[in-house]
Structure 1
Amino acid sequence: MKRESIWGPNYRALTIGIILVVTAAAFEGLAVTTIAPALAKELNGESLYGWVFSTYLLAQLIGTVITGQLVDRSGAAKPFVFSLIIFGIGIVLAALSPNMIVFIISRFLQGYGAGALVNCVYTAITLRYSDSLRPQILAVFSSAYILPGLIGPYVAGVITEQLDWRYVFWLILPFVFISALLTTPSFRGMNTALKSAQKLRVVPPVLLAVGTGIMITGLGMMPHLYGILLAVVGLITLVIPLRQLIPEGTFTARSGIPAIVASRGLFVAAYSGTQTYLVLALTSVLGFTADTAGLAVASAAISWSIAANLQAQRDKRDNGAGRKRRILVGLSFMIIGVSAAAPLAFIQDSGTALVVAIASQIIVGFGIGLAHPTSAAIAFSYSKSGEEGKVSADLAVADTFTPAISIGVAGALITITETTGFSTELGITVSLAMQLLLVIVGIVAAVKLSRGVLAGK
């Protein structure tokens, strides 16, 4: 009997469409990570460096949660098209930004669009692909980072060094148009696939993003009293909507989807935070150019893709029985990689520093490449009919909220370190050490997957 394939006639168009969408979003994300120090300097916005990433992630959170509800109510086609338009507007605004505030606004639009797009893609995976095919399409999802990972960071760095960082965004824009033309037809058939009578909830994700933003702003103003007050107000503001948006039992990593969301949120936060401040260490402390720093970002993306494909092959062989083990192995790799990256800012020899940066990112990327698609496959196996958008949103919240907190808090730690008379090198080291702690807690949460983690449940 012939095995089903994601490249078969029933899936080919959608598979290609998913690759195009993810490639466009991945290229943009990897490029910004590389060029952020240069654009922040040109726009006189170094003090807002962390907001380049936190704003994107917070907007991504809003986009994923709201779109998840819209998909469950009316299908994925209209939200998908709207998301592409918002993402494209954000790209144009970024290229035209006259100052850091406008650029951060553009990042909000990009984040909302990207988050909504990923939710639509996850919903398509849940609806159209069987459980046996999901690890394959999730591996392809990760593999869509290969080309952007190979050339994105380096090309973005070269363009920034030789021309101007604005050209990077103009280069991304055609991908958005091509994705719209080739992918939209595949989503039209999903318009009537889902029906939900639940009321559209807009306030919780917006309130969560606002509260997180206030808290991060306050942390950046510490140790001043008004900074402490803002941080407390932000924390109080975000707690209630956060509890509404994540599965019950997430804070205690209860077995099942709550443990998946908890673990995934922690290890994704650690990955994003490590990469963000590793690039800052390479460019602002160690003096490397943007294109050289891009090599570290590229190495992580490539090893992520390789590991994702390996886990898909293993999942096919054991029919999902080894999913928990693959997450634990992946997080163990991440612990090794983040530990290696932590002291990077203090390495005196530039050659050694670059080798350590690239090697650590290869290891971290390989680890998350094992854990990330595997955690999604487990979550999808638990999804109930009519709640596919909700499960996709749960995963998206894990992918966006905790990284925003991680990057924001890490940036605040660097600011506090500098304002209290210590070195930037120490601030970056403390920030990277925080990412290590997140992975360790993430592996503890993953251990709780021992009950109920069965393929195809």
Structure 2
Amino acid sequence: MSIPTRTAVRTELFGPARRATTIGLLLLISLIAFEAMGVGTAMPAIVADLGAVSQYAWPFVAFMASAVIGTVFGGRWCDVAGPRIPLVVAPALFGSGLVVAGTAGGMGQLLVGRFLQGLGAGVLGVAVYVLVAAVYPQHVRPAVFGLVSSAWVLPALIGPPVSGIVTERLSWHWVFLGLVPVVLLAVALVLPACRRLGPPDPAHATPPARRGFALASVGAAVGVSTLSWASQQTGALAGVVAAAAVVLLVPSMHRLLPVGVFRARPGVPTLVAARGLLAGTFFTVNSYLPLMLAGTHRWSLTTAGIPLLVGSLGWSASSAWQGRHPDLARHRLLRAGFGLLATGTAGMLLVAPAWGTPWLAVPLWAVAGVGMGLGFSSVAYLLLAQSGPGEVGFHSAAAQLSDQLTTATMIAAGGGLLAMFGSAASALPILVAVLTAMAVLGVLIAGRTAGERP
């Protein structure tokens, strides 16, 4: 097979046939990223204005619960009907959630808006991958996933400060309402591609019904959102609630994930497990790194955010690099990505303790970010390459659920350790050691994901 040149790949992405689709997809990803980054910054002002500081965690919980439901049903919907309708309905749900939340005068309306946003974001996260599988040739997909990763970087860099400025100078309402025009533009750009897809091919059999699917999705939503709530609390109650959530999640995920995920069965099951290991490791450290630097080493919050910035830049750079090398075996790139992530995470054992060296967090998290850029893109590519007709939605949803579940579980575990030990300097080294073991496990199982030839 001949290797496409960079010019040829660029033409495939931004030529007349796909330019609008590519830009529309990037806008859809970017608006969800801006919302995710901006709401966290604005939330203290939001709950204070609504007089509901004691309910601070609930807007996040509402989003998480509905995102899980949207992910599960979005996967099924895309497999049965194709991505063309979900790609219009999902942004409509997300946009309506922005309007409802942005005009909220009380906590109840805000929670409804956040629920609609999460539902739309969950469906959209799956539908984007199904559209990539339907529209872009296999040799172009590494570059597509490189662009998707890059679409998260600008929001990560400017989302929090822009949200802060908008909240202070205008109102927190515009953190939501200001994104509505972007939703409309993105849908307008993607709509022509959706029309060209047409209805699903009748030659492809309808995916089989999955017994207990609806009940399992509700159980997963309750479990993941409960873990999300527990991760923001302290004390023994949070630990009990987190443990109960895990008990609820086990049978739910057994229904919602491919058979063999927990045994790292070769192929798609290992890919789904790898997505969870990548996300759970990286995003958990990302969540606790500012506490590590500000709480233990007395860095300012602004300075403590520098490692997060360089991690995002490393992710974007390596994801773009892999997109320019479609000839490389993706399972080998995945192993390299896990290796770099393990190196960056293990190095935090030299940062987390009170005697640690805090400035090491900057280069170490750049290394981890490079690993994520290689690993995440490789999982996405391999998952599409190994999914047959009627499976792309289910497999993409399973990978996204694995991501959500593992991240929520590990962040909640970190909160439990903090409650148990009482200080970041004592608790976080234990958490880092566990996360390092997860990344090393990823290195060991990466070879089981091989199933394609570039």
TM more than 0.5: yes
Report the RMSD for the aligned CA atoms in angstroms: 3.5
Matches within 5 A, 1:323-342: 323-340=330-347
Shift of 1:259: 1.2
Change (3 A) 1:154 1:359: farther
The number of residues matched between the two structures is 440
Amino acid at match of 1:400: Q
Q: Tell me, yes or no, if structure 1 residue 430 matches structure 2 residue 440.
A: no
Shift of 1:336: 3.5
Matched, 1:403 2:418: no
Note if 1:210 corresponds to 2:210: no
- 1:207 maps to a residue whose letter is G
Identity of aligned residues (%): 30
Question: Which of residues 66, 74, 78 is equivalent to 1:71?
Answer: 78
> Which is worse superposed, 109-118 or 135-144?
109-118
CA contact (8 A) 2:311 2:368 kept: yes
Whether contact under 8 Å (1:300, 1:366) holds in the other structure is yes
Deviation at 1:99, TM superposition (A): 6.0
SS of residue in 2 equivalent to 1:10: coil
Alignment partners' CA distance in 2, 1:150 and 1:405: 26
Query: What TM-score does the superposition give when structure 1 sets the normalisation length?
Result: 0.82
Residue correspondence of structure 1 range 7-46 to structure 2 within 5 A: 7-36=14-43
Say whether the 8 Å CA contact 2:310–2:369 is kept in structure 1. yes
| Cα distance in 2 between the residues matched to 1:312 and 1:363 | 18
In 1, the alpha carbon distance for the partners of 2:362 and 2:51 equals 29
Aligned-partner Cα distance in 1 for 2:198–2:433: 42
Moved more, 5-14 or 59-68: 5-14
The superposition leaves residues 69-113 of structure 1 with CA deviations (integer Å, 9 ceiling, x where unpaired) of: 111111212222221122123323443455667655543332221
The residue number in structure 2 matching 1:270 is 281
- More displaced 10-residue stretch of structure 1: 268-277 or 2-11: 2-11
Structure 1 residue 193: Cα displacement? 3.0
Q: Could you tell me whether the CA contact under 8 Å between 2:337 and 2:370 is conserved in 1?
A: yes
Q: Output the CA distance in 2 between the equivalents of 1:124 and 1:41.
A: 40
Matches within 5 A, 1:135-174: 135-160=142-167, 164-174=171-181
Any gaps of 5 or more consecutive residues in structure 1? Answer: none
198-207 vs 239-248, which moves further: 198-207
Q: Which runs of 5+ in 2 are unaligned?
A: none
1:383 aligns with 2:394: no
Give the counterpart letter for 2:289 in structure 1. L
Q: What does the per-residue CA deviation read over 1:239-274, in whole Å, with 9 as the maximum and x for residues that have no partner? A: 222001111111121221111111210221222222
Is 1:242 the counterpart of 2:253? The answer is yes
CA distance in 2, matches of 1:296, 1:57: 26
Query: How far apart in 1 are the matches of 2:102 and 2:374?
Result: 35
Q: State the Cα deviation string for residues 3-56 of structure 1 (Å, max 9, x = none).
A: 453223333232122111111111122223444566567667777666655553
Provide, for residues 178-220 of structure 1, a one-character-per-residue CA deviation record: whole Å limited to 9, x for no partner.
2122222222233413552534743221121113444666785
| Offset at residue 124 of structure 1 (A) | 0.8
State the partner residue of 1:193: 200
Question: Aligned letter for 2:143?
Answer: Q
Aligned residue in 2 for 1:84: 91
- Aligned residue in 1 for 2:124: 117
Kept in 2, the 8 Å contact 1:24–1:172? The answer is yes
Contact 2:274 2:446 in 1 (8 A): no
Q: Which residue of 2 aligns with 1:260?
A: 271
SS of structure 2 residue aligned to 1:77 = coil
**Any residues of structure 2 matched to 1:414-453 within 5 Å, and which?**
414=418, 416-417=419-420, 422-423=422-423, 425-426=424-425, 430-431=427-428, 433-434=430-431, 437-451=434-448, 453=450
- Look up the match of 2:376: 372
